[in-house]
Amino acid sequence: MVWFRDRQEAGRVLAERLAELAGRQDIVVLGLPRGGVPVAYEVARAWGAALDIFLVGKLGVPGHEELAMGAIASGGVRALNDSVLEDVAGAREALEEVTERATAALERHERAYRGDRPAPELGGRTVVLVDDGLATGASMRAALAAVREHEPTRVVVAVPVAPPATCAALAQEADEVVCAHTPESFFAVGAYYRRFDPPSDEDIQRMLASAPAARSALG
């Protein structure tokens, strides 16, 4: 079943679902690249809020990269999938090497997207973490853990689509979780979009540069 024409439409749906946050001065909307940024852009634009990125990299099992041992987020915080580490041969032994490679890639992408601009100040603010959808939620858990280290007042997770169990698990860690659609029989995130082409680095740079109030979030 397709629910969204594209990520832009998904972002507008989320903005309406969280309309009570519109106009508040303490809001920072953080998109998880790549796919979460166009969704977050629409949310920030609808609210007149600050927009930035928060990077998360999957820690895939070597040879089976689609299987996540966990994820690493900006600031070096890891969220690990203990069941994969225990059940998949060689996963735990490969963890540190995979983490090192993922960290280097994450830092390269952060420089490419943000350039010389500093990261936003998150302390004492309401942070809204946005992605284009979740499956296991490992990447979002890593982002949540990393954002918490900055001592925000409140952390909200907002996604267009995710399995009910993933949303329920994240609700134990975030102050609020909004999942616009929670299909019981969950397929890949892209199955719920008519158009799911990934945004380019240039697309992301352009959205960050043109988002309302972006400068106020960048210090």
What's the CATH number where 70 sits?
3.30.1310
Q: Is 165 in contact with 176 (CB distance < 8 Å)?
A: no
Provide the angle, in degrees to the nearest 10, between the axes of the packed helices 36-47 and 201-210.
Answer: 10
- Looking up residue 165, the CATH number of its domain turns out to be 3.40.50.2020
37 and 131 in a common domain: yes
124 and 100 in a common domain: no
Select, from the ranges 93-97, 106-110, 132-136, 156-160, the one with the highest average predicted confidence (pLDDT): 156-160
Residue 219 scores a pLDDT above 60: no
Residue 66 scores a pLDDT above 80: no
**Domain presence at residue 1:** no
Q: Is 57 in contact with 218 (CB distance < 8 Å)?
A: no
174 and 157 in a common domain: yes
Residue 80: which of 104, 63, 98 has the closest Cα?
98
What's the burial of 148, exposed, middle or buried (CB within 10 Å: 0-12/13-18/19+)? middle
Report the alpha-carbon distance of residue 182 to residue 165 in Å, rounded. Answer: 9
67 and 49 in a common domain: no
- Per-residue pLDDT band for 214 (boundaries 50, 70, 90) equals very low
Residue 77 scores a pLDDT above 70: yes
Q: E strands along 92-170, which residues?
A: 126-130, 154-161
208 and 139 in a common domain: yes
Tally of residues, the chain: 219
Residue 64 scores a pLDDT above 70: yes
203 and 150 in a common domain: yes
182 and 129 in a common domain: yes
80 and 187 in a common domain: no
What's the burial of 69, exposed, middle or buried (CB within 10 Å: 0-12/13-18/19+)? buried
159 and 197 in a common domain: yes
pLDDT at 189: 94
For 88, the domain range is 58-112
Residue 159 scores a pLDDT above 70: yes
Greatest Cα-to-Cα distance within the chain, rounded to the nearest angstrom:
50
Lowest model confidence (mean pLDDT) among 63-67, 176-180, 191-195? 63-67
Query: Hey, how many other C-beta atoms are within 10 angstroms of the C-beta on 208?
Result: 23
Residue 92: which of 137, 59, 56, 135 has the closest Cα?
59
- Per-residue pLDDT band for 212 (boundaries 50, 70, 90) equals low
158 and 70 in a common domain: no
85 and 29 in a common domain: no
198 and 136 in a common domain: yes
Beta bridge partners of 44: none
Mean pLDDT of 60-78: 83
Q: Is 58 in contact with 157 (CB distance < 8 Å)?
A: no
**Domain presence at residue 107:** yes
